[in-house]
Amino acid sequence: MIDIHCHILPGIDDGAQSEADSIALAKEAVKQGIKKIVASPHHRTSKYDNPKHEIKDLVTSVNGIFQREGIPLEVLLGQEVRVFGELISEFTDDYIATINEKNYLLVEFPSNHVPSYSERLFYDLQMHGITPVIVHPERNSQIIEQPDKLYQLIEKGAISQVTAASVAGAFGKKIQKFSLQLIEANLCHIVASDAHNVTNRSFKMDEAFEKIEKEFSIDHSYMYRENAELIVAGKMIYKENPEKIKRKKLLGIF
């Protein structure tokens, strides 16, 4: 199994704070059957700036540590980019790290809204051959209230990644139910951990896939696992036509 979103690199954001934390995350990942992890440190938030070259050096270092510790886990290059107006120029200047240096990029909205320029920004990314992967849309308050915002972006070529802990219910019943609605409406294309530590922000991948198989089918679980492999390889993922979430049904989560 591949996890495309994890804050496993030490000391550069709100994830692992030390090499010991990174090792603890790695050991927990292996327990869950994860073989590869995409390091996805925050970039361009109010607190964190992590340009590609710095992440790349740290990925090399952490892989060396895991090899010495005998941990069978490979860390791949990645970055969780908060959307901002100059993203394209930073991409062309090689400050932006796509997933495994292929053609998918993890992008994050502010927690309370979807910036008005997002559609244009995503179009520009796609013109550069990059598919935006919208991370944890189920925790964005505007998307919860107006799921058509997500539908419109996905209809125009973006994809989305729901957090395993959301599906497992770790963020509460409302977010869990909305996550399942996104899955049902084909507005989710991949499940990843967004793990930060092994205490209150751990992987929950096994719990999430168990819930998905119970609520939908084992085929959904296989599709999300396969999509992770395809994204890391830079290939086209499996996806169904997105559907709108009916407002009446949406209100039922509150």
Please write down the HEC assignment for all residues of 78-109.
Answer: CCEEECCCCHHHHHHCCCCCCHHHCCEEEEEC
For the chain, which residues make up each domain, given as ranges?
A: 2-251
% of the chain surpassing 90 pLDDT: 96
pTM exceeding 0.85: yes
CATH number of 2-251: 3.20.20.140
Is the per-residue pLDDT at 22 higher than 50? Answer: yes
What is the Cα 49 distance to its own chain's centre?
Answer: 18
Residue-wise pLDDT tens digits, 181-227? 999 999 999 999 999 999 989 999 999 999 999 999 999 999 999 99
Predicted confidence (pLDDT) per residue in 63-116, tens digit: 999 999 999 999 999 999 999 999 999 999 999 999 999 999 999 999 999 999
CB 130 within 8 A of CB 100: no
pLDDT in the model for residue 152: 98
